[in-house]
């Protein structure tokens, strides 16, 4: 009887809505329709004992038919202009989201899909309700509901995004992000990230229209509360949601979200105001680095066969820790690239030095990480931020000009043209001095970080550590570490003093002492690379001392802590744990550098006062006249012959 009554009322209301009235349909009838929908919705959401009969579900189906009929009816004025009427029609549909029964939710979402197909172009003010129904799908309601809801969401983005009022675009971004975070369907999560990229492209292509419409509809109180332009707030919502997806538990989602986030910032970040970039740094980028580093450090390093299932995974990605290492590499590289590309916009921000120092801290901690992939990638990120030219007058890669005002806009208060010229020169001189001091502080911090990385990474292990548990930096890491110094030196050379040279020499000596693993010994290929640069006169004695030490390495193999490393060439294949590098070509090149350097610097006062020539003769004589049998194996014989040839 209850089911028959609901169906009868439904048929009556549908017939009433389909009738053409003169005068037009009175709003009281619409109110009656709304009340009837609310009653049916309340009846469906009630808990019955015994449970709700399946026939009553048909009444819900009829109620959804009423929704479709009401939306298809011709109203005067039109439905899309009446916010209250749309809310009355769609409100009961949204209230059904509180019902936990899967079959009812399934029909609700099917109704939404039908509404989009038939009346999507009329949902001007009804989009928050429709998006609310789609976004109310939860992970505990089954995969079928998620698939149906996502089907509607895809239709919204592909067909209706241009006609959605701009003030509802943020709701669309948040609903897409919800489907990205659900963990039932991996493909839906990845497709959701693709939809976010499409939305960002839509924002960029329609930036003028969206910006004007948002500014027009925003009140003064809302603008003060937001503390940033409405268009920038829309981008911030997109960046933050992508940032959340970057720390998802699934590696594929993290990788896709990270690539999308940094590609979006790189491609469209130039649209943001300068003040908004401060929020990007402190609300998106640095929280991302912090969360990734925290989750990476706590990830399991045990292979989870159950989680992997039947999927064949490469050994470099077969544990959660290795998978998070990839995310850490991607995140740090993306932030470093952002600092490089957007530095002209970021530098005028008041707390840029703090942001720069924090980025260097993340680079340092990652470079000293025991994971070889992360540590090497950290040095590459270090190199990324060192490739910045102080004098480059660049535009952002999307063609937008730099946010820094030109010097011509500085107001001068001089009457005569001569005075104006002098005043301009003074202002530009002061500004140049301030910029130079500012730059020097930034690069000095980078030099300290490089020195910390080099000192700690090349520090020999303690004698108490077992050889099996000793961390020894790889040769690619040491190569990247040394290659990082030349571009860094270009920024610090005006303040580089003898004390800094001594610290550099310590790092270089330790790096040369690091052995390679026995398995890699067949791949050691001797090569010589010639490089050199002019330095201050006071540094010449230290450079000679360093080169003489390198010559000695070719005769006497250096030690790296307590590790028992065999000389290169004394063993074949992986017969031992550690093998020293082949220092012979390096030492021979050092001999030539000593000769050439002394020829060009013999008249310098520092070379004469520090008795460099006497030191060279004494050290060479000791090596040549020493008993060659004491040289470790026969590795030093070519060096001794080279010494005799060049000096005797």
Q: Which tens digits make up the pLDDT trace of 608-625? A: 888 888 888 888 777 666
Highest mean pLDDT among 95-109, 454-468, 551-565: 95-109
Q: 138 lies in a domain?
A: yes
> Model pTM greater than 0.85?
no
| Least reliable range by pLDDT among 48-57, 399-408, 495-504 | 399-408
Q: 591 lies in a domain?
A: yes
100, 133, 164 - which closes a domain: 164
142: alpha, beta or left? (left if phi > 0; alpha if psi -120 to 50): left
Kindly state the tokens that stand for 137.
């799908």
Place of tokens 């067909």: 159
Q: In what order do the strands lie in the sheet with 565-566?
A: 516-517, 578-579, 565-566
164, 189, 209 - which closes a domain: 164
Please report, for residues 253, 277, 319, the alpha-carbon distance to residue 312 in angstroms, rounded to integers and kept in the order given.
18, 42, 12
**DSSP bridge partners of 578:** 517, 565
Smallest CA-to-CA distance from 29 within 88, 112, 83 is with: 88
pLDDT at 86: 65
**Average confidence (pLDDT) over 533-547:** 74
Q: 99 lies in a domain?
A: yes
Please report, for residues 154, 169, 195, 200, 231, the alpha-carbon distance to residue 157 in angstroms, rounded to integers and kept in the order given.
5, 10, 7, 11, 19
Angle at 107 between CA 183 and CA 27, to 5 degrees: 125
Domain count within the chain = 2
Q: 270 lies in a domain?
A: no
Q: Which domain holds residue 117?
A: 1-164
Confidence of residue 356 (pLDDT cuts 50, 70, 90): very high
Confidence of residue 333 (pLDDT cuts 50, 70, 90): very high
Distance in angstroms (rounded) separating the CA atoms of residues 134 and 175: 7
Q: What is the pLDDT of residues 96-150, one digit of tens each?
A: 788 777 888 888 888 888 888 887 887 778 888 899 999 988 767 778 899 999 9
Is pLDDT above 70 for 405? no
129, 164, 199 - which closes a domain: 164
pLDDT at 357: 95
Distance of CA 466 to the CA centre of its chain: 37
pLDDT at 205: 95
**Average confidence (pLDDT) over 405-422:** 38
Confidence of residue 552 (pLDDT cuts 50, 70, 90): confident
Is pLDDT above 80 for 30? no
Q: 602 lies in a domain?
A: yes
Average pLDDT, the chain: 76
Q: Where are the alpha helices (DSSP H) in 461-561?
A: 475-492, 498-513, 540-553
Is pLDDT above 80 for 319? yes
Please report, for residues 83, 411, 424, 545, the alpha-carbon distance to residue 407 in angstroms, rounded to integers and kept in the order given.
51, 9, 9, 48
């Amino acid at each position: 009887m209850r089911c028959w009554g609901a169906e009868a009322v439904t048929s009556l209301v549908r017939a009433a809505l389909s009738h053409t009235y003169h005068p037009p349909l009175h709003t009281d009838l619409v109110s009656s329709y709304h009340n009837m929908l609310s009653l049916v919705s309340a009846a469906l959401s009630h808990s019955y004992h015994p449970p709700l009969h399946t026939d009553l579900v048909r009444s819900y189906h009829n109620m959804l038919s009423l929704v479709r009929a009401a939306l298809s009816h011709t109203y005067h004025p039109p439905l899309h202009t009446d916010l209250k009427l749309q809310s009355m029609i769609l409100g009961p549909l949204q209230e059904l989201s509180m019902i936990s029964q899967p079959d009812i939710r399934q029909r609700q979402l099917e109704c939404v899909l039908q509404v989009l197909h038939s009346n999507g172009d009329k949902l001007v003010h009804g989009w928050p309700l429709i998006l609310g129904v789609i976004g109310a799908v939860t992970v505990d309601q089954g995969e079928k509901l998620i698939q149906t809801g996502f089907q509607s969401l895809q239709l919204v983005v592909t067909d209706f995004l241009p006609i959605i009022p701009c003030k509802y675009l943020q709701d669309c971004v948040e609903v897409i992000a919800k489907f990205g975070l659900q963990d039932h369907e991996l493909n839906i999560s990845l497709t959701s990230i693709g939809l976010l990229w499409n939305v960002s492209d839509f924002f960029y292509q329609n930036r003028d229209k969206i910006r004007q419409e948002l500014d027009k509809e925003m009140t003064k109180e809302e603008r003060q509360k937001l503390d940033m332009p409405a268009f920038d707030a829309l981008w911030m919502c997109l960046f933050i949601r992508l940032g959340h997806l970057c720390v998802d538990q699934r590696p594929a989602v993290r990788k896709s979200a990270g690539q999308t986030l940094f590609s979006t910032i790189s491609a469209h970040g130039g649209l943001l105001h300068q003040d908004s970039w401060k929020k990007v740094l402190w609300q998106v980028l640095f929280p991302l680095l912090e969360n990734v580093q925290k989750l990476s450090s706590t990830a399991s390093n045990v292979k989870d066969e159950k989680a992997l299932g039947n999927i064949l995974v490469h050994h470099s990605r077969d544990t959660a820790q290795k998978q998070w290492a990839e995310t850490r590499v991607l995140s740090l590289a993306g932030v470093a690239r952002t600092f490089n590309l957007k530095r002209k916009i970021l530098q005028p921000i008041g707390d840029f030095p703090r942001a720069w120092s924090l980025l260097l801290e993340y680079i340092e901690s990652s470079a000293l990480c025991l994971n070889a992939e992360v540590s090497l990638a950290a040095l590459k990120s270090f190199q990324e931020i060192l490739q910045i030219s102080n004098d480059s007058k660049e535009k952002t890669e999307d063609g937008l000009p730099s946010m820094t005002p030109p010097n011509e806009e500085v107001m001068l208060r001089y009457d005569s043209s001569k005075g104006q010229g002098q005043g301009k020169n003074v202002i530009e001189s002061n500004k140049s001095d301030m910029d130079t001091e500012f730059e020097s502080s930034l690069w000095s911090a980078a030099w300290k970080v490089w020195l910390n990385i080099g000192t700690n990474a090349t520090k020999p292990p303690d004698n108490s550590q077992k050889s099996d548990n000793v961390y020894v930096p790889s040769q690619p890491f040491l190569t990247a570490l040394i290659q990082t110094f030349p571009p860094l030196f270009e920024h610090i050379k005006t303040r580089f003093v003898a004390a800094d040279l001594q610290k550099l020499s310590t790092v270089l000596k330790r790096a040369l002492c690091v052995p390679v693993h026995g398995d890699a010994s067949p791949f050691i290929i001797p090569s010589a690379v010639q490089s050199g640069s002019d330095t201050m006169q006071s540094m010449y004695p230290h450079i000679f001392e360093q080169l003489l030490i390198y010559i000695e390495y070719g005769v006497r193999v250096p030690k790296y802590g307590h590790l028992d490393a065999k000389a290169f060439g004394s063993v074949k294949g992986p017969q031992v744990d550690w093998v020293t590098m082949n220092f012979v070509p390096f030492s021979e090149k050092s001999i030539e550098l000593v000769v050439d350097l002394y020829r060009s610097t013999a008249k310098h006062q520092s070379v004469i006062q520090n008795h460099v020539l006497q030191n060279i003769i004494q050290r060479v004589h000791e090596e040549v006249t020493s008993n060659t049998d004491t040289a470790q194996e026969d590795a030093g014989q070519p060096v001794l012959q080279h010494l005799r040839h060049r000096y005797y």
